[in-house]
Structure 1
Amino acid sequence: MIHPALLKKQRIILAVLLALIIFTIVIGMGIGYSSLSYDRLIPTFLGQGTFKEEFVLFSVRLPRIIITLLAGMALALSGAILQGITRNDLADPGIIGINSGAGVAITVFFLFSPIEAGSFVYLLPLVAFAGALLTACIIYMFAYNKNAGLQPVRLVLVGVGFSMALSGVMIVLISSAERAKVDFIAKWLAGNIWGTDWPFILAILPWLAVLIPFTLYKANRLNLLGLSEPVAIGVGVSIEKERIVLLLAAVALAASAVSVTGGISFIGLMAPHIAKALVGPRNQLFLPVAILIGGWLLVVADTIGRNLVEPDGIPAGIMVALIGAPYFMYLLLKK
C-alpha cells in the first residue's frame, strides 16, 4: 500500500509538470523564425487568424511541438523500463544501442525502399521497431550469462559497443548515397526533429496509446524485477517472461519515438532519475512523473535549440546531449 502523503505529493508534482508543459508549449508556439504574437494565439486557434498565422501555428509550430512531447514521453518510459528490467541506473535506449539499431533499419529503408511517400510515414515506426528489436535481442544475448543471468554492467558495455559499431555501419551505408538522402540521415543522426507534420503524430500516437497503459499496468512487476532474482522467483514472478515482454515494450516505445525525431539519447536516462528523486522508486509513483518529465525536457530542448540559431536552429538531440552527457558521466562515476 502506498502512503496517502506520497500519493498527494505525486498528484501535486504531476499538476506542476502539466502546468510547465502547457507554459512551455505556449512559449514555443509564439517564438521562432516566423514569430506569432501571443495576443493572436487564441484568435488563431478559433479560426480568426490570417492565412500566415494559421499556417505558422497549425502547419509548422503545433505539430512539431506535439511530436516532440510524445517522443519525449516515449523515450522516458522506455528508459524507465530498461532501468527496471536490467537493475542498471545507466540503461537508456540511446546509450545501449537500441536507437542505433532503429537508425540503421530506417537508413536502409530510406535509401533502398521503393515505398511511396504516403505510406512511408506509417511504416517508419514498424521498420524502426524491427531494427531496434533485432539489436536488443543481440545485446541481450551477449549480456546474458547462463549461470549468473542478465549482467547489468555487461549490458551497458555491450550496448555502447554495438551503438558505436552501428554508427559505423550507418556511415558506410550513406557514403555512396545521393546528397539529398545523406542530408536527411545526417539530420536524423543529430537528433533533428524532422517528422513535423500531422501524419507523423498519427504514426506515433497508437504506439503510446497502447504501451503507456500497458507499462503502468505492469508497474508492480517492474517493482518485483528490481529485487534480487531469488526474491522475485520466490514471490512467483516468471523473470525471463516478464523481462522479454517489458523489453519488447521498451524497444517499441524507443523505436516509435526515434523514427520521427532522429537519434536522441539521454532523455530515457535523466527523466526516470529525476522522477525517482521526486517521488521515490515505486514504479506506480514515478512512471507517470517520468513520462511528463521526458516530454517536457524534449520540448524545452527543441524550443531552445530551434531559436538559438536561425533559421535551422540546433538539433534537439545535441541540446539534450549537452545536458545528458555530463549527467551520464556523473552517474557512471557515482555507481
Structure 2
Amino acid sequence: MIHPSLVRRQRLIVGLLAFLILLTVIVGIGIGYSSVSYDRLLPTLLGNGTFKEEFVLFSIRLPRIIITLLAGMALALAGSILQGITRNDLADPGIIGINTGAGVAITVFFLFVPIEVGSFVYMLPLVAFIGALLTACLIYLFAYSRQTGLQPVRLVLTGVGFSMALSGIMVVLISSADREKVDFIASWLAGNIWGTDWPFILALLPWLVVLIPFTIYKANRLNLLALSEPVSVGVGLSVEKERLVMLFTAVALAASAVSVTGGIAFVGLMAPHIAKALVGPRNQLFLPVAILIGGWLLLFADTLGRNIVDPSGIPAGIMVALIGGPYFMYLLLKK
C-alpha cells in the first residue's frame, strides 16, 4: 500500500510540472525569430489573430512544441522501462544503441527506398521501430548468459559497443550519398527537431496513446522486475516473458520519438532519476512524474537551443547532451 502522503506529494509535483510545461510553452511561443507577442497570444488562439500571427502560431510554433513535448515523454518512459528491466541506472535508449539502430534503419530507408511524400511521415516510426527492435534483440542476445542471466553492466557495455559500430555503419552509408540527403542525416544525428508539422504529430501520437497507459498498467510488474531474479520468480512472475514485453515497449517508444526528433540521448537517463528522487522508486508514482520531466527537459532544451544562436540555433540533442553528459559521468563514477 502506498502511503497517502506520498500520493499527495506526487499529485503536487505533477501539478507543478504541468505548470512548468505550460510556462515553457508560452515562453517558447513568444520568443525567437518567428514569434507571437504575448498580448496577441490569446486572441490568436481564439481565431482573432492576423494571417501572420496564425501562421506563426499554428504552422511553426505549436507543431514543434507538441512534437518536442511528446518525444521527450516517450524517451523518458523508454528510459524508465530500460532501467527497471535491466536493474541498471545507466540504461538509456540513446546510450545503449537503440536510438542508433533506429537511425541506421531510417538512413537505409531514406537513401535506398523510393519514398512517396504522403506515406513518408507515417512510415518513419515503423521503420525506426524495426531497426531499433533488431538492435535491441542483438544486444539482448550478446548480453544474456545461460549461467548468469542478463547482467546489467554487460548489457550497457554491449549496447555502447553496438552504438559505436552502428554509428560507423551510418557514416559508411552516407559517404556516397547526395549532399541534400547527407545534410538531412547529419541533422538527424545531431538531434535537430525536424518533424515540425502536424502530420508528424499524427504519426507519433498513436504510439504514445497506446504505450503510455499500457506501461502504467504494467507498473507493478516493473516493480517486481526491478527486484532480484530469484525474488521475482518466487512471487510467480514470468521474468523473461515480462522482460521481453517491456523491452519491446521501450523500443517502440524510443523509436517513435527519434524518428521525428533525431538522435537524442540522455533524456531517458535523467528523467527517471529525477522522478525517483522526488517521489521514490515505486513505478506507480514515479512513471507519470518521469514522463512530464522528460517532456519538459526536451522542450526546455529545444527552446533554449533555438534562441541561443540566430537563425538556426543549436540542435536540441546537443543541448540535452551538454546537460546529460556530465550527469552520465557522475552516475558512472557513483555506481
Aligned match of 2:212: 212
Poorly superposed stretches of 4+, deviation over 4 Å: none
- 2:326 counterpart of 1:326: yes
Contact 2:68–2:261, Cα closer than 8 Å, also in 1: yes
Q: Distance in 2 between matches of 1:116 and 1:35?
A: 32
Aligned match of 1:150: 150
How far did residue 78 of structure 1 move? 0.0
> Percent of counterpart pairs with the same letter?
82
Q: Distance in 1 between matches of 2:161 and 2:34?
A: 42
Find the residue that maps to 1:32 and give its secondary structure: coil
Residue type at the aligned position of 1:203: A
Q: Distance in 1 between matches of 2:264 and 2:5?
A: 35
Once the two structures are superposed, residues 30-80 of structure 1 have per-residue CA deviations (whole angstroms, 9 ceiling, x without a partner) of 111123210000111111111111111000000000000000000000000
Aligned match of 2:296: 296
Contact 2:35–2:57, Cα closer than 8 Å, also in 1: no
Aligned match of 2:308: 308
How far did residue 233 of structure 1 move? 0.3
Q: Distance in 1 between matches of 2:322 and 2:117?
A: 34
Residue type at the aligned position of 1:59: S
After TM superposition, the score normalised by the length of structure 1 is: 1.00
Once the two structures are superposed, residues 66-106 of structure 1 have per-residue CA deviations (whole angstroms, 9 ceiling, x without a partner) of 00000000000000000000000000000000000000000
> RMSD in angstroms over aligned alpha carbons?
0.4
Aligned match of 1:195: 195
How many residue pairs get matched? Answer: 335
After TM superposition, the score normalised by the length of structure 2 is: 1.00
Once the two structures are superposed, residues 145-200 of structure 1 have per-residue CA deviations (whole angstroms, 9 ceiling, x without a partner) of 10100010000001001101101100100010001100000000000000000000
Residue type at the aligned position of 1:228: S
Pairwise mapping of residues 117-266 of structure 1 onto structure 2 (< 5 A)?
Answer: 117-266=117-266
Q: Distance in 1 between matches of 2:296 and 2:226?
A: 26
Unpaired segments ≥5 residues, structure 1: none
Aligned match of 1:75: 75
Q: Distance in 2 between matches of 1:192 and 1:40?
A: 29
Unpaired segments ≥5 residues, structure 2: none
Q: Distance in 1 between matches of 2:162 and 2:232?
A: 30
How far did residue 111 of structure 1 move? 0.7
